[in-house]
Structures are given as C-alpha cells and as structure tokens.
Amino acid sequence: MCNDKLAALQARWADIADLTHAADVLEWDQLVNMPPGGARARGEQLGTLRRMAHERLTDPRAGEELAAAEAGSPPAGVRTWLRAARREYERAARIPSALVAATSRAATEGYAAWVEAREHNDFSRFAPALARLLDLARERADAVGHNGERYDGLLAEHEPEMRTERLRTIFDEIRRTLLPLIEAIGARPQPSRAPFRRRLAESGQLRAGEAAITAFGYDWRRGRQDRSVHPFSTAFGPGDARITTRLHPDDFAVGFYATLHEAGHALYEQGLPEAWARGPLGRAASTAVHESQSRLWENMVGRSLPFWEHFTPILRQCLPGAFDSASPGDLFLASNVVEPSLIRVEADELTYNLHVALRFELELALLHGDLPVADLPGAWNDAMLATFGIRPGDDLHGVLQDVHWSQGGFAYFPSYTLGNVLAAQWMDSAHRTLGDLDALFRRGEFGPLLMFLRTEIHARGAGPTPDELAEAVSGQMTHPGPYLRYLRAKFSAIYALS
C-alpha cells in the first residue's frame, strides 16, 4: 500500500521534472536560437508546460499520496525524499491557481512594460505594472503564510529558512565592514584595467573562457556554451548543463567572467546525482547555494592571484600577442579594481553587495507600502548617493536596470549576497580539508576543489536546507564572518591598506 503510494509519488515527480526540463529546453532555445516569428507560439507552449507541471504538483491526490507515504514510517532515504517533496508541495499548493495565473499574466505584462520603459528611459511607463505586481506579491506572501512580516513569505520561495530579521542583521554587518573599506580604497591609487581594455578577436575570447572552465572541470560532453544577450546557465538534468556568455569587443573581462560565473552554476548541476534527476532531491539546495557556486568559481578562484599565475600563459596562447606584456599580477589587479558604479552586474566584488543591500531595503519598503511606487526612482537615486556618493543621471542607469521586479521576482536579490557568504564558508572549509589551495591553483589543479564541492555540496542535492548544509560543511549556519574576513584580507593586500 505504502509502496504503491510511493511509486505513484515518484512517477508524479518524474512527470513534473520532465515537464519542467522540457520547458527549460524551450526557454534556452528561445534565448539562443528562436527566430522572432516563433515568439507567440513559444509563449503558449511554455504556458502549457508550466501549467501542467503546476497542476500535477498541486493536485489534491499529491497531498494524499504524500500523507500516506509519510505515515508508513519509511526508511531514512525515503524520508529525505518525502521531506523535500512536501516542501515543494506545500509551497505550491498554498497559492491558489487563480493567483498563479494572475501573477503569470502580470509578469508577462510587467516585462513588456519594463522593456518599453527602458526604450523610453521613463520609469512612469513601468510604474502601474509594478504596482500591480506588488499587490499580487502581497497576496502571494499572505497565501504562503508568515508571522506578520510579509517579506518572509516571499523569501521562502528562494531560501527556505531565511527570515527578514536575520537578513537585516547580515546586511548590517556587511555594510558596517564594507563601507569603511571602500572609503579607504577610494583614497588609494587605482590599479589599471588597461590589460583587459583592448580590441580582441571574439574567437580568442571564447577560447580563453573555454580553456579556463575546462581546467575547472566543466564537462563538455554534458554541456555546451552559446552566446545570448544576457548570460545565463540552465540544465535539463546533470547530463546536459549549458551556459551562455556575451562578448564585449573592447573589454575582455565581460565575456571571460560571465563564462566563469555561469560555469560555476553548471558545475553544480553536472554534480547533482543522476539517480535523483527526476525527483525533488535532484536540484540545488536553494538559490543562494546555487549562487555560492558561481561566485566561488568566478571570484574566489577566477579573480585570485594563483589563478592568474597559472592561467596567464594559457591566455597568451588563446590570444597571441595581446597579453605578452601583462604579468599575472597585472591581470590579477585588473580583475579586482574596486570602484563605486551605477550598474550592479558590472560592479566589483566589494561594492556588489551594497547594490544588493540597496535593493533589499527598497523592496521591503515597497512591499510594506512605506514607499509609494511613484517615489521609487527618487528613493533609488538618493540611496545610491548615500551609499556610493554617485547619483544616476536617468532611470536606465538607476531603477530600470534589473529585470527581476518586472517579472514579479521580489526577495530574490538577497540570494546573491547570501551566495557570496556561503561561498566563503565553503572555501574556508576546503582550505581546512585540502590544505594550500593557492599552491594547487598555481599548478592549475582545480580538481581537488571541485571534488570537495562535489562530495560536500553537489552530491547532497536538495536533501539538506541551506543552513543544514552550511552546518554540515563548515560547522556553522549561514553567517558573513568568513566572507568579510576574505574580502578584508584580499582587498587590503591589493590596495596596500594597513
């Protein structure tokens, strides 16, 4: 009886996974290959697949099957499976399908309005859609449930255990450390970005990125790289984890670090257990844990001096003549210039987190109704001035820069910084386990680090919650101590601070 229910549950989750992965293939194709004429039909196909996946997940029979399977005192492995399945089920089943449909429509309209507002560099064209999306987000938060803090309800979609109060504490601590650090850096001479700022052949730029991630362990038999307007990664199971990048003809860092970042995501996906691919365990533990992998490879490895000591001769082979006079140290410095700037995705490792903190505060105020939508551009620009001493000249370089809110993605930004935080916890632990990582990197040996991440993180899939994972790997729950120590040490050295 219990086995029957369990088999039915597993078949249900296999269908959900297949529908979801099929939709992911369609979205990849949409961004990489689809001719413009395909847009309308593709929207309908995606809507149908996502709806069918949602119907299967929220079907009352799913709840009955879950309850029956849980009641049968199953063995530990099955219990883990059931716990992850229940988390997914609860999250989805609490939201009425009318609200799901309304949110989906509002997201499509919101995205279109955001694109139009960007074309006219005019936030007011986006404001009504944003107000509507905020109303729906409040409804969603209330449907999910919370203890008076609506933001918690939205946060739960990305970070199961995180709470707004705890996030505030983390961001306060980050701000307290980073603001004086950035100020001190501002008084020092800047390293030169010149080594990266030159016209380079696209083929050579691509080869360099491919060489770097091949060294990291990206498996090309289970992935591929293409180009798209905005870089992204996606996976249809551990056997097919793809990345995209974009290239800037005059700035090598743009494409190279996009490749490293997306490969970090894809390495995680390639490391998820194949046997779990069609169930609730065969995915990332949370958005932040996913982000921890990309930021780790991009920044903690790819912007380190030992990496450049290894990679500089390879880069010279990929782009003959272009880097002959640049030393590893020059490239290390060029990839770590700290400078307040207007655009989050172009920000350096330090100021990046303050961009995130700013969005966290603003979306909290929006959600609580403390900040009217019409006042958002002004509030954004004031916050930029207060944080970085610079004020965006227009909405395009301010409030209209990120796509997230236009698609109803609230409470998403914090996961970026939580990912940085977790990445530092993983690196501390890897240091303890593997010894001198710098010496390994200098020799181009990234395999031990990947194997550590595979064993400690990837192989566990969505079994543990992020905090359980942090505990298991680093001995402590998610906390910013190691990350802030890492930043202080790295940038004090680069900028010769006392």
| Phi and psi, residue 243, nearest 5° | -130, 160
Are 314 and 328 contacting, i.e. CB atoms less than 8 angstroms apart?
no
- Measured from the CB atom, is 1 or 40 closer to its own copies? 40
Q: Count other Cβ atoms within 10 Å, centred on residue 185.
A: 21
* CA proximity to 217, closest of 440, 434, 447, 438: 447
- Of 48 and 124, nearer to its own copies (C-beta) is 48
| Nearest-approach distance from CB 32 to its own copies, in angstroms | 8
Both tokens of 70, joined, read 């849980």
Q: How far is it, in rounded angstroms, from Cα 474 to Cα 427?
A: 9
CB of 217 or CB of 414, closer to its own copies: 217
Q: How far is the CB of 44 from its own copies (least distance, A)?
A: 6
CA distance 448 to 437: 9
> Nearest approach, Cβ of 133 to its own copies (angstroms)?
26
- Binding residues (CB under 8 A) for its own copies: these are 14-15, 18-19, 21-23, 25-26, 29, 33-42, 44-45, 47-49, 52, 219-224, 236-240, 277-278
Nearer to its own copies, 256 or 276 (CB): 276
At its nearest, how many Å lie between its own copies and the CB of residue 496? 46
Residue closer to its own copies by CB (options 228, 476) is 228
319 touches 208 (CB < 8 A): yes
The DSSP output letter for 227 is E
Phi-psi sector, 229: left (phi>0), alpha (psi -120 to 50), beta: alpha
User: Checking DSSP bridges between strand 225-227 and strand 241-245, what pairing results, if any?
Assistant: parallel
- CA separation for the pair 146, 363 (Å, rounded): 17
Residue 159 catalytic? Answer: no
Written as six digits, the tokens of 205 are 């730029």
Q: 36 or 60: whose CB is closer to its own copies?
A: 36
Q: Which pair of tokens denotes residue 309?
A: 């000591």
* Shorter beta-carbon distance to its own copies: residue 38 or 444: 38
Q: Find where tokens 């001096």 sit.
A: 305
Q: How far apart are CA 155 and CA 391, in angstroms?
A: 29
Burial class of residue 341 (count of CB atoms within 10 Å of its CB; 0-12, 13-18, 19+):
middle
Residue 225, phi then psi, degrees to nearest 5: -120, 135
CA-wise closest residue to 59 among 79, 81, 85: 85
Considering the candidates 65, 157, 159, 262, report the single residue annotated as catalytic: 262
Catalytic residues: 262
